[in-house]
């Protein structure tokens, strides 16, 4: 079975110039853990919950030089600053993609190896779909086990 057989093609995308507040609203409302960033019709990155939340915390190198403890209640206040940033300030620009003709197990192995929950499907730099671990799991289940129960 190929990626093109299971990928989601009705995608919500954002642009790198959008305010992060709009994007996190989409993430929370629709339970998206990540959204592709498309500029001028080309995939330019992905913004994930971990990108947004990661901006709230001090850098590891900043903590290494001191014995200071992180005050997590104060860190919660950072969120209001983060949501005023633009998508380009937090997105992951170097996006690993897969092709529609790839076998779904090859796609799954790439996701597992990189600890991805989802991966964009692209032809050259044109986004054509997304595949999640859930998509792969459901396809394997339907092909192998559903008929045996």
Q: For residue 102, is pLDDT > 60?
A: yes
Q: For residue 149, is pLDDT > 90?
A: no
Which pair of tokens denotes residue 17? 């110039």
Give the model confidence (pLDDT) of 3-54 as tens digits: 999 999 999 999 999 999 999 999 999 999 899 999 999 999 999 999 998 8
Give the model confidence (pLDDT) of 71-87 as tens digits: 778 778 888 888 899 99
pLDDT at 3: 98
CA 115/CA 138 separation, integer angstroms: 18
Give the model confidence (pLDDT) of 116-138 as tens digits: 999 999 999 999 999 999 999 99
Domains and CATH numbers, the chain: 3-148 (3.10.580.10)
- Cα–Cα distance list, 128 to 45, 51, 80 (Å): 14, 23, 33
CA 40/CA 17 separation, integer angstroms: 12
What letters, b where the CB count within 10 A reaches 16 and e where it falls short, cover 64-99?
Answer: eeeeeeeeeeeeeeeeeebbeeebbebbeeebebbe
pLDDT at 57: 72
């Amino acid at each position: 079975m190929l990626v093109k057989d299971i990928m989601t093609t009705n995608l919500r995308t954002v642009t790198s110039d959008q305010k992060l507040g709009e994007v996190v609203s989409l993430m929370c409302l629709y339970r998206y853990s990540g959204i592709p960033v498309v500029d001028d019709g080309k995939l330019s990155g992905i913004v994930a919950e971990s990108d947004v939340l990661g901006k709230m915390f001090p850098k590891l190198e900043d903590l290494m030089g001191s014995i200071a403890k992180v005050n997590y209640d104060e860190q919660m206040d950072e969120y209001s600053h983060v949501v005023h940033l633009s998508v380009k300030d937090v997105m992951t620009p170097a996006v690993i993609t897969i092709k529609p003709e790839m076998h779904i197990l090859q796609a799954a192995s790439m996701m597992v190896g990189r600890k991805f929950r989802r991966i964009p499907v692209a032809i050259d730099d044109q986004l054509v779909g997304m595949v999640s671990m859930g998509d792969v799991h459901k396809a394997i289940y339907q092909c192998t086990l559903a008929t045996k129960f």
